[in-house]
Structure 1
Amino acid sequence: MIYLETSRLRLRDWEETDLAPFYRLNADEQVMKYFPKTLSAEETNGFYHSIVAEIKECGFGFYAVEVKESKEFIGFIGFHRATFDTDFTPCIEIGWRLKKEAWGKGYATEGATACLQYGFNTLGFHDIYSFTADINTPSKNVMTKIGMSFIKMFHHPKVEKNSPLSKHVLFHIKQKGAVVL
Structure 2
Amino acid sequence: MIVYLETERLVMRRFTADDVELLVGLDSDLEVMRFLTGQVTPREEIENVVLPAILAVYAEHQELGTFAAYQKADGAFVGWFGMQPTKDPEVVGVGYRLNRTAWGKGYATEGTKALIDKAFGELGMDRVVADTMAVNHRSRAVMRRSGLRFIRVYHEHFDDPLPGTEFGEVEYAVDRRTWEAGRRA
TM-score of the superposition, structure 1-length normalised? 0.86
- Give the CA deviation at 1:82: 4.4
Please state how far the C-alpha of 1:19 moved relative to its aligned partner.
1.9
Question: How much does 1:62 deviate?
Answer: 1.4
Aligned amino acid, residue 38 of structure 1:
V
- Secondary structure at the counterpart of residue 34 of structure 1: coil
SS in 2 for 1:124: coil
Partner of 2:182: none
Q: Does structure 2 retain, via aligned residues, the 8 Å contact 1:155–1:161?
A: no
How far has the Cα of 1:81 moved from its partner?
A: 2.6
1:68 paired residue number: 72
Distance 1:82 1:26 in 2: 24
Give the drift of 1:149: 0.7
Q: Distance in 2 between matches of 1:146 and 1:35?
A: 20
> Which residues of 2 match residues 138-157 of structure 1 at below 5 A?
138-157=138-157
Q: 1:162–1:44: structure 2 CA closer, same or farther, 3 Å change rule? A: closer
> Structure 1 residues 143 and 27, CA, compared in 2 at 3 Å: closer, same or farther?
same
What do residues 57-95 of structure 1 show as CA deviations (whole Å, max 9, x unaligned)?
102111111111211221111211346xxxx9x952100
Taking a change above 3 Å as real, the CA distance of residues 17 and 73 of structure 1, as seen in their structure-2 partners, is: farther
Structure 1 residues not aligned, in runs of 5+: none
Structure with a larger share of its residues in helix = 2
Q: What does residue range 67-86 of structure 1 map to in structure 2 within 5 Å?
A: 67-82=71-86
1:173 is matched with 174
Aligned pairs for 1:9-158 (under 5 A) are 9-36=10-37, 37-45=39-47, 46-59=49-62, 60-82=64-86, 91-157=91-157
Q: Is the 8 A contact 2:13 2:67 kept in 1?
A: yes
Matches of 2:5 and 2:100, distance apart in 1: 22
Task: Provide the aligned length of Structure 1 versus Structure 2.
Answer: 173
2:16–2:55 CA contact under 8 A, matched in 1: no
Root-mean-square deviation (CA, aligned residues, Å) is: 2.3
TM-score (norm 2): 0.84
Once the 2 structures are TM-superposed, how far is the Cα of residue 162 of structure 1 from its aligned partner? 5.3
Aligned to 1:3: 4
Cα deviation for residue 16 of structure 1 reads: 4.4
